[in-house]
Amino acid sequence: MNDFAPAAAPSRKTLVLSLLGLAAFLAVQALLLRHFIRTDTRPPSWDQSTHMEIALDYRRALASGHWGDAWYLAPKPGMPPFPPAYQMLLRGAYDSADPAHAALWLNWWYFALLAVSLFAIAWRFLPDSRALAATLAFCAAPGLQDLLTTQLVDLAVVAWTAAAYWALLASEGFSQWLPSLAFGVLFAAGMLHKWSFFSYLLPAYVVAARALANRSSRPKVLAAAALSLALFAPWYWAHLAQLPTRLMQASSDAAVPFWKGGAWAAYFQQSCGSLGPLLWLLGFLGVLAPQYARRRENGWILAYWVVASYVFWTIVPNRQIRFLLPGLAPLAVGLAATWPRALTWSVAAVQLAGAVNFFFGWVGPIRVPLPLTPLTFFENNPPVREDWKIPEILRRIEADRDPARPLTNVTLVANAPYFNAPTFHWEQEWLGLPHARMRGVNARLCELSEFVLLKDGDLGPASVIGGLPEAAKEIKNPDGWFQSAYAVDARWPLPDGSQAVLYRQRLVRPKPLKKDRMNYAFFEAGKAKIRNLKVALSGWDPSHSDWAAARASVDMVDVRGLTVRGVTAELDDFSFVPVYEGGVPADYDWSDVRLMRLDALKIGSLSVSADDLKTFLDRRVPGLQIDALTLDGTVKAEGRWRGKSVAVEAALDLDRAARVLRVRLLSVRYMGTPIPLSLFRPIKELTVSLAPNPETPFAIDIPSLTIKDGKLTIP
């Protein structure tokens, strides 16, 4: 029989046997996943921990009946709000004693949806056993097996993409009602899992545009679009004020423009190991000139599915292969449609062997160097029994912390896959330890942190440890300020051969001043520039190395470009250590200081002028140029943002009882058009906490606040 001859009418027997084969494959995958879950003891990694923490936030909000908190769930620091569907379903994992691994069973259901959808697509073009071979070849690929064993939303996106394309193809150009409406529902499901879902459906928009020109199909297109928008648009509308800018920031992470350094070929190279070299090579070649047994007129949709996804995600600066995998499913159909049946099934058999090997690691990974890109065979990630000591470390911090402090900042000097801030955040929330707050390293290393946790050894991948080697070097410097301020509290051996070293502030430190007064005509600390600083200290406690009270006055301070004048303040339980130039101690001869403790800051007075606030905003907000700023009862600003006119009016409300400073938007105009304030619902009342929090772990007291005559003043 000629493998490339037109297929006969579909055989019901072949269909039934293929479906049984598909069911057997999914059963084997379930057994492999069970083996992984029962064996692996590693905690979730970076983004995986974030998803687990968000699911826990949803669970607690809904369990307490706070539906509004669930709808407007606060995004994690530095991250955009995530559409809720995946994390809402992930909540069920917390019924298990091991939620991180129980969460992987949700992945199996997405995996099953992917397998069924891809088989349905392949059967439309190849109604014989090759449809099953194509499905097995893609689903057994290392990249899909990896997504199956990690707490990420990306496997769900691959599944919903395939399901949406099945409905699109079944709609026959939106000429059929049920598949057209199904496409609308599936598109909405994808959008409620991840914002980038739309990028994989670019060919569908071409099909829809063509259908709109046809009178008989136009109602079906419009109905599908309306149904889809009704399902997913409310969440996006409610989060529109926060989503775009944060998404831009996230997409620029580790950014390299596609025209530099061969970035345009990055996904072509990455996909070799994730797909497996045979599917990678034969699939890319096959999708260019496939010989579909039927419905060849729709073959361009599969080709454009791959090409459009590749181009889109190559342009996006942050390139990870999991972002492209939803666009690569058609390669398996192209493989089956182009190459002889025996070769297609041989590739499927190799992929199946690789899937089993992925969970046991018997072979590989094997890399064969080639001039353009190395070929990677048998990528794997078998389960591992490793104890990264995170619960033990968190409980030690909770036990050793100063109970007089409302919260305890811990600076983490590490960003390894299983030893990083998101993983600690999630474990802390899950364990119900309320006080410790993991902080990242900044330019001042660990200011106001009671503890510092260092991974002494490999800090993590080179691409994610910016600033950490310098911090580790400072910590280990025997003559530096850190060793005089902190002492080792505990050590733990870690599975990679390194150590976790917990440092705690020394309770007894030398008094940094002989006198209890400081006067500086000019003082600079980090990014703060201070003129005419006067400090009077009282009540030194040698057992805790802090002053009970300090009174400070400053003529002018410039903090990150914001000029504040006439500052007076009182500080409770205040301490610092000096940072000497050249390591030579001498009274008043330090180059900088590091704050060790501050329990309360009582601001007596300060003022910020409209001109100084305008200068600060111009510098700090990218793309913003303010033409006029008025301080008179409210804050009014007019200017341009990225070349377009904007006008904003806001009020500042001090709520001393709630210990917050609220920023209320009163009006927003963009290019002369009023913007509904409902768009800013999540940030309509921006609040600055005056209670201790990880950013400012001390109480702030403001007696009153006035906006009048071009100045913001306290009191």
Whether residue 173 sits in one domain with residue 60: yes
Residue 461 lies in a domain: yes
pLDDT of residue 75: 82
Alpha-helical runs (H) found in 477-580? 481-485
Choose one of 563, 598, 633: the last residue of a domain: 598
Half-sphere exposure of 94 (CA within 13 A, CB side): 21
What span, in angstroms and rounded, lies between the C-alpha atoms of 418 and 636?
47
Whether residue 622 sits in one domain with residue 594: no
Residue 603 lies in a domain: no
Q: Report yes or no: 73 and 91 within 8 Å, Cβ to Cβ.
A: no
Whether residue 125 sits in one domain with residue 96: yes
Mean pLDDT by 10 residues, the chain (715 residues): 52 93 98 97 95 95 89 82 94 94 97 98 95 97 97 97 98 96 98 95 96 94 97 91 67 58 77 93 89 87 95 86 95 95 96 96 87 83 96 96 91 95 94 90 89 94 88 92 94 96 94 85 77 92 93 90 93 90 58 88 94 88 87 93 89 90 90 83 72 89 93 93
Residue 385 lies in a domain: no
Residue 117 lies in a domain: yes
Residue 443 lies in a domain: yes
Whether residue 210 sits in one domain with residue 291: yes
Q: Report yes or no: 331 and 275 within 8 Å, Cβ to Cβ.
A: yes
pLDDT of residue 368: 86
Whether residue 285 sits in one domain with residue 224: yes
pLDDT of residue 404: 87
Whether residue 173 sits in one domain with residue 114: yes
Residue 664 lies in a domain: yes
- In this structure, which amino acid lies at residue 39? T
Structural tokens at position 688: 């600055």
Whether residue 161 sits in one domain with residue 240: yes
What span, in angstroms and rounded, lies between the C-alpha atoms of 545 and 576?
9
Question: Which residue do the tokens 């493998």 mark?
Answer: 3
Choose one of 476, 505, 534: the last residue of a domain: 505
Residue 524 lies in a domain: yes
Question: Which residue do the tokens 């397998």 mark?
Answer: 115
Domain that holds residue 438: 390-505
What span, in angstroms and rounded, lies between the C-alpha atoms of 597 and 643?
44
Residue 384 lies in a domain: no
Taking residue 481's Cβ as centre, other Cβ atoms within 10 Å add up to 19
Whether residue 229 sits in one domain with residue 266: yes
Count of structural domains within the chain: 4
Whether residue 552 sits in one domain with residue 463: no
Q: Report yes or no: 146 and 39 within 8 Å, Cβ to Cβ.
A: no
Half-sphere exposure of 11 (CA within 13 A, CB side): 10
Whether residue 242 sits in one domain with residue 157: yes
Whether residue 243 sits in one domain with residue 115: yes
What span, in angstroms and rounded, lies between the C-alpha atoms of 21 and 15?
10
CATH number, position 410: 3.40.190
Structural tokens at position 13: 């027997």
Whether residue 125 sits in one domain with residue 102: yes
Q: Nearest-CA neighbor of 358 among 144, 37, 110?
A: 144
Choose one of 505, 540, 557: the last residue of a domain: 505
Structural tokens at position 129: 């056993």
